[in-house]
Amino acid sequence: MEIKIISFDIDGTLVDSDYNDLIWHKAIPEMVAEKNGLNFEEAAAKVKKEYDRVGEDDYRWYDIKYWISFFQLAIGYQELLQKYEQNIIIFSDVVPTLEQLCRKYQIISITSMPWEFMNIKLKRIKKYFQENFSTLSEYKELKNKDAFFQISRKLRVNPEQILHIGDHEKQDFFAAREAGWKALLIDRFYTGLQEKYPDSVINTLTELPDRL
């Protein structure tokens, strides 16, 4: 069945994830340190302990507003994210590939991150996307089979007519396929996914048009 829609994950696929580390592991610990009279190492350990307590499978782990409230930080989420906006890096192959693909396909993005992170990361390339979905903000869950299924129903298209590209083995590859979508993994940093799924991995988005 012919592909009509191409879906992209954001972190690790379109945008370098270093911005996340800057927010979660530098900015927040620094503010916790200042608020509680701790040195940075003590604050970082305190923050990490709380992150680990919630865990990556809980949607609150990704929710910047939750953590600002939890640590009682005197800053709004927009101010915090904008403070480090200049550190957002869009991979060099993204714009040329989107320019080529948008002539023939509908382009969307799907992420587990909340709207707050999605909007600022897509700011410079938002013109290429017809729809953007945050499973965390819309469904209070990470990307999974049900989220992909709900999105395809919302788009009113057969799941087999959507191709999703992402870098997360469970949330992007298996979840999308379980919902009936086509899916490819992108392994920009050569972590070994090519050996596990030789027919389903690309290392750069410039490979994508040939795959279609």
- CATH number at 10 reads 3.40.50.1000
Task: Give the pairing of strands 131-134 and 106-111.
Answer: parallel
pLDDT of residue 58: 85
The arithmetic mean of pLDDT across residues 33-43, rounded, is 97
Which pTM does this prediction carry?
0.91
Rounded-to-integer distance, Cα 209 and Cα 24, Å: 35
- What percent of the chain shows pLDDT beyond 70? 100
Mean pLDDT of the chain: 95
Same domain, yes or no: 71 and 150: no
| Residue 84 pLDDT greater than 90, yes or no | yes
Same domain, yes or no: 11 and 32: no
Per-residue pLDDT of 88-139, as tens digits, reads 999 999 999 999 999 999 999 999 988 999 999 999 999 999 999 999 889 8
| Residue 62 pLDDT greater than 90, yes or no | no
Same domain, yes or no: 150 and 193: yes
Q: Are 166 and 13 in contact (CB under 8 A)?
A: yes
Per-residue pLDDT of 66-75, as tens digits, reads 999 999 999 9
Domain that holds residue 47: 18-86
Same domain, yes or no: 65 and 149: no
Same domain, yes or no: 81 and 93: no
Same domain, yes or no: 72 and 141: no
Q: Which residue has the higher pLDDT, 56 or 148?
A: 148
What pairs with residue 164 in β-bridges? 7, 183
Same domain, yes or no: 113 and 133: yes
Same domain, yes or no: 51 and 140: no
Q: Rounded to the nearest 10 degrees, how much is the dihedral formed by the CA atoms of 30, 36, 37, 38?
A: -60
Instruction: Please say which residue of 86, 101, 133 terminates a domain.
Output: 86
The arithmetic mean of pLDDT across residues 10-35, rounded, is 96
Same domain, yes or no: 64 and 151: no
Number of separate domains in the chain: 2
Same domain, yes or no: 80 and 163: no
Question: Which residue spans within the chain are E strands per DSSP?
Answer: 5-8, 106-111, 131-134, 162-166, 182-186, 201-202
Per-residue pLDDT of 164-195, as tens digits, reads 999 999 999 999 999 999 999 999 999 999 99
